[in-house]
Amino acid sequence: MHMAAKTSRRPTQCKGRRFAKVLSALLLVAFLAISGCAARQLYQDYLVRHTQAQLTQLHRAVSTETVEEQVNSDWSRGMLELNPDYVGWLTVYGTEVDGPVVQGEDNDEYLRTDFYGDYSIGGVFFMDCLVDLEQDGNLMIYGHMMYDETMFGPLRKYRDAAFFKENNVLRWEDRNGEHFYKFVAGLILPDTADDTEYIDFRQWLNEQDAETTQRMLEIVEENAYIFQPDIMRDGSEKYLFLMTCTNNGANRLLLVAERMD
């Protein structure tokens, strides 16, 4: 009887060992998959940082030229030779935002494509396809809010009012020269037009009359989490919008900058 009872437990023990082996194998596969994804993400982050640093170095290499020399030679400082879609250079002082801006046929072209035309999780800063750069009007630039502070990652700091006020100057350089802007408002907007609080800022791109600009500013003030009023505004001002995502995938961060010259 003792031997029979001992034998009857063997199938259960075997099943237990098989289950443990299967579970271990599944855990190993899951670990390898997660490790592989993490490694790919780290590599993509590295490529974004490397590309950004390389382009910044190239851009600065010719920044010692005088303005007259640049006009007579190449306003893009060699960027157009690398990418004919290059339209300008954006610098947000007090942050790491400092890089080239391109403009594609549509707003999807450079969403996951870097300045050189290769796949990139961080893409490149790009101008809204509706912007007519021949006009001296309002501009909109997009960029990904990367977690490693590349691209528009540093813009998350502008949720803080103190940081917003202390680091509110940016520089835009294009074929017409350089312009300086200052941030005057920040908004958190829903991403989809179906949302009742959605605001389509693309309607205010390019040249706008004074009445339209004043109405835009009223809407901005009504919806902004921070807004800096100015009684001297008369509706003739020009604006630069910076658009990026937030930690909440359903919303977007929009920073409004007013031209200072």
Structure tokens at 214: 């004043």
Specify the pairing of strand 169-174 against strand 86-92. Answer: antiparallel
Q: Distances in Å between the alpha carbon of 191 and those of 25, 81, 104, 125, 186?
A: 41, 35, 21, 19, 15
Q: What's the confidence (pLDDT) of residue 23?
A: 62
pTM score above 0.85: no
> Is residue 140 a contact partner of residue 216, using CB atoms and an 8 Å limit?
no
pLDDT 10s digits, 87-103: 999 999 999 999 999 99
Where in the sequence numbering do the catalytic residues fall? 144, 245
Q: Quote the CA–CA distance of 57 and 78 in Å, as a whole number.
A: 12
DSSP 182: E
Query: Which CATH architecture is the domain 80-259 placed in?
Result: Beta Barrel (2.40)
The domains of the chain are located at 80-259
In order along its 261 residues, the chain shows pLDDT tens digits of 454 544 555 566 665 666 666 666 666 665 555 545 444 545 455 555 656 666 666 676 655 555 555 555 789 999 999 999 999 999 999 999 999 999 999 999 999 999 999 999 999 999 999 999 999 999 999 999 998 889 999 999 999 999 999 999 999 999 999 999 999 999 999 988 899 999 999 999 999 999 999 999 999 999 999 999 998 899 999 999 999 998 777 899 999 999 998
